[in-house]
């Protein structure tokens, strides 16, 4: 009976040792997973920038594939292009633009208008650029801007305003007109 209890005791000790090591390994693995997630999702790291560019390229490729397939279908399920027609776009930077009707969003729009513009491509290659969604407001790049940096906005070129012009900020909505806080505005 003594040999068996010694063997059972050794097995129990080994199991406790495994559990303590397993616990520390599990904590270390969780820490590495958190660091990995932070690296992949931080746009200030090389990995985060690469993943962001990859996602943008994948999205652009997907949208262009949808556009091409839609155009081919609209033109009768097939399109014949000469090599010259395709080579006319070589060494060019092609910017596909799309628009939606005023007051529409990408989700609610029934129609999209596509156009393109060509520019000479830079000799060192084309960097990945984020596409601009219709209705999406790009970040402000005005160095003299005093608005909060996290507020998405753009600045427009000021228009000459006459003395009797109505400014959009001077217009009040019907909801604002019914608000008792605005009684002084309406007398």
| Domain coordinates in residue numbering, the chain | 1-41, 42-80
Each residue of 119-156: pLDDT tens digit?
Answer: 888 777 656 555 555 555 556 677 777 666 665 555 54
User: pLDDT at position 4, please?
Assistant: 60
User: pLDDT at position 185, please?
Assistant: 40
User: pLDDT at position 83, please?
Assistant: 93
Query: 32 exposed, middle or buried (CB, 10 Å; 0-12, 13-18, 19+)?
Result: exposed
User: pLDDT at position 1, please?
Assistant: 47
Neighbouring C-alpha atoms within 13 Å toward the C-beta of 51: 13
Kindly state the tokens that stand for 148: 């909060």
Is this prediction's pTM over 0.75?
A: no
Select from 139, 64, 134 the least CA-distant residue to 103.
134
Each residue of 95-107: pLDDT tens digit?
Answer: 888 888 888 888 8
User: pLDDT at position 182, please?
Assistant: 44
Q: 92: which residues sit within 8 A by CB, 6+ positions away?
A: 118, 119, 120, 121
Q: Is 24 helix (H, G, I), strand (E, B) or coil?
A: helix
Q: 111: which residues sit within 8 A by CB, 6+ positions away?
A: 100, 101
Longest Cα pair distance anywhere in the chain, in angstroms?
107
State which residues of the chain have pLDDT below 50: 1, 156-178, 180, 182-187
């Amino acid at each position: 009976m003594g040999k068996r209890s010694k063997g059972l005791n050794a097995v129990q000790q080994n199991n406790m040792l495994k559990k303590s090591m397993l616990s520390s390994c599990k904590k270390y693995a969780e820490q590495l997973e958190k660091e990995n997630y932070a690296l992949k999702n931080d746009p200030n790291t090389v990995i985060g920038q690469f993943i962001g560019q990859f996602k943008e390229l994948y999205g652009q490729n997907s949208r262009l594939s949808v556009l091409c397939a839609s155009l081919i279908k609209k033109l009768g399920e097939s399109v014949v292009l000469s090599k010259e027609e395709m080579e006319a776009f070589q060494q060019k930077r092609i910017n596909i633009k799309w628009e939606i009707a005023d007051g529409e969003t990408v989700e609610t729009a029934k129609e999209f208008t596509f156009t393109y513009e060509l520019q000479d491509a830079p000799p060192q290659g084309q960097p990945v650029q984020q596409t601009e969604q219709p209705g999406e407001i790009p970040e402000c790049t005005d160095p003299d801007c005093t608005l909060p940096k996290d507020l998405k906005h753009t600045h427009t070129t000021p228009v000459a305003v006459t003395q009797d012009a109505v400014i959009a900020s001077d217009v009040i909505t019907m909801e604002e007109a019914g608000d008792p806080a605005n009684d002084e505005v309406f007398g």
